[in-house]
Amino acid sequence: MKSVTLTDNQSGKRVEFPLLESVLGSHVIDISSLNKELGYFTYDNGLGMTASCTSTITYIDGDKGELLYRGYEIEELATNHNYLEVCYLLLNGELPTPQEYRVFEDDMRIKRYPNEGIKKIFEAFPDKAHPMAVLSSAVSALSAFHFQHLDIKTHQEYMEMARRIIAKIPTLVAYTYRHSMGYPYIYPDPNRYFSENFLYMMRAFPNGKVKISQVEIDALDAIFTLHADHEQNASTSAVRLVCSTGAHPYAAISAGINALWGRAHGGANESVVDQLEMIGDVSKVDAFIARAKDPNDDFRLMGFGHRVYKNFDPRARVLKKMRDKLQAELGISSKIIEIANRIEEIALNDDYFVSRNLYPNIDFYSGTLLLALQIPRSMFTPIFVIGRTGRVDYPMDGAKTRPKRQNHTPTPTLCGQC
């Protein structure tokens, strides 16, 4: 077993700690015996250098701008596979065969319908209630309609609950929106694919026709895939912590939704659109870029920079292509996108940003893409919830899941597994 030796300069004591080797990325030091051996604890503000578990789900190389789900590059998954295939991959460690996909998707279509009683939860909220308050309550309330016992002990019981949550969340998000507008709820349509069905529930009216183009379905599907997981971020850590007490996934996902509510996390794409709107005209972009570069001005360009990616966020690259395609095919020309394009054009060539590795992140494009999909801003973060729920995974030894590529102990900012 490889190891690292630490010397305590106070006592001169030298202690060996095991080195856990990862297949990709940095190895990690197992310091679980630190207090027993040397009487110390560690301090790591923000857990930026601390792994909370081993995992075979997601790997990020921030310097290279690389993101892998179960060993697959994110660009490959978002371009060649749909979101439900990616959910299957995250849950089971392998992409589904056509037969496995058929069974999984049919099951998810049936599970889209929440118990009718859940509607009383929405009616309890004023229409102007924040959608994340409504959504986190509705997800927690799903447990009241899970008539089998909630004290799950087997992988099968857990996966059944995970599939129900993944299938029902889009319906709950659509109901949240419909309630906020005073619109009638639209039942899920079992004949429509996952992402098409969501747009249908958001746009349709009883006895009316609804127009949904394939390019819109593909763009939304890519957004769900690109948001499906991102190692040990705040919301995943919240889900993991709740799961670790033995609480069921409904409680854990509800906690994760509340963590994602924050502007620094799930709300970042809303901040991007707010800022583009505040800038208001492409002629003002230069002045705001100057403010972003001014050390005496705390103004920052929303959607630029990332704690981990010191290169282009690979998810941003996919979304930029999707947004340009959507804009061209639907003939969307919006002032906000014009301003965004100008900011990107300047920032990608300006030494202030390039020298600090400040590149557009996922939020810089997802906000303008959702606007192009006519998704109201208030629903941006609930859309993020749909994507991120796709990896409600069983808290079990990673070795039991068969990753497509070799498994690994990812970088210290690890993801959770429940």
Catalytic residues: 306, 363
Of 306, 320, 342, 408, the residue at the interface with ligand SDX (CB under 6 A) is: 306
The per-residue DSSP string of 11-38 comes to T--EEEEEEEPPSSS--EE--TTHHHHH
Q: Counting contacts by CB under 6 A, is residue 90 touching ligand SDX?
A: no
Q: Counting contacts by CB under 6 A, is residue 109 touching ligand SDX?
A: no
The token pair at 135 is 């959504």
Residue 115: CB minimum distance to ligand SDX, A: 30
Q: Counting contacts by CB under 6 A, is residue 295 touching ligand SDX?
A: yes
Q: Are 372 and 334 in contact (CB under 8 A)?
A: yes
Helices (H), 210-313: 214-226, 234-244, 249-260, 268-279, 285-293
- The residue range among 32-40, 75-83, 304-312, 323-331 that interacts with ligand SDX, by the rule CB under 6 A, is 304-312
Question: Cβ closer to ligand SDX: 232 or 409?
Answer: 232
Rg of the chain in Å (alpha carbons): 22
Residue 193: CB minimum distance to ligand SDX, A: 24
Q: Which residues pair with 66 in a beta bridge?
A: 61
Question: Cβ closer to ligand SDX: 141 or 279?
Answer: 279
Q: Among residue numbers 359 through 378, which ones bind ligand SDX (CB under 6 A)?
A: 361-363
Question: Cβ closer to ligand SDX: 215 or 241?
Answer: 241
Could you give the CA distance from residue 259 to residue 237 in angstroms, rounded to a whole number? 9
User: How far is residue 10 CA from its own chain's centroid?
Assistant: 44
Of 292, 326, 379, 386, the residue at the interface with ligand SDX (CB under 6 A) is: 292
Could you give the CA distance from residue 132 to residue 383 in angstroms, rounded to a whole number? 10
Of 14, 335, 356, 400, the residue at the interface with ligand SDX (CB under 6 A) is: 356
Fill in the amino acid letter for 182: G
Q: Which residues pair with 5 in a beta bridge?
A: 16
Phi, psi of 5 (to 5 degrees): -100, 130
Question: Cβ closer to ligand SDX: 202 or 358?
Answer: 358
Question: Cβ closer to ligand SDX: 27 or 356?
Answer: 356
The per-residue DSSP string of 93-155 comes to SSPPPHHHHHHHHHHHHHTT---GGGHHHHHTS-TTS-HHHHHHHHHHHHGGG--S-S---SH
Q: Counting contacts by CB under 6 A, is residue 233 touching ligand SDX?
A: yes
- The residue range among 114-122, 177-185, 296-304, 329-337 that interacts with ligand SDX, by the rule CB under 6 A, is 296-304
Fill in the amino acid letter for 296: N
Fill in the amino acid letter for 210: V
Distances (CA, A) of 119 to 108, 195, 389: 20, 22, 21
Question: Cβ closer to ligand SDX: 136 or 197?
Answer: 136
Could you give the CA distance from residue 376 to residue 155 in angstroms, rounded to a whole number? 38
Buried b (16+ CB within 10 A) or exposed e, 226-236: bbbbbbbbbbb
Q: Counting contacts by CB under 6 A, is residue 343 touching ligand SDX?
A: no
Question: Cβ closer to ligand SDX: 59 or 304?
Answer: 304
Tell me the residue number closest to ligand SDX, measured at CB.
305
- DSSP for residue 69: E
Q: Counting contacts by CB under 6 A, is residue 240 touching ligand SDX?
A: no
Mask for 251-280, x = binds ligand SDX (CB under 6 A): --------------x--x------------
- The residue range among 139-147, 298-306, 321-329, 332-340 that interacts with ligand SDX, by the rule CB under 6 A, is 298-306
Question: Cβ closer to ligand SDX: 197 or 225?
Answer: 225
Q: By the criterion CB under 6 A, which residues form the site for ligand SDX?
A: 230, 233, 265, 268, 292, 295, 300-307, 356, 358, 361-363
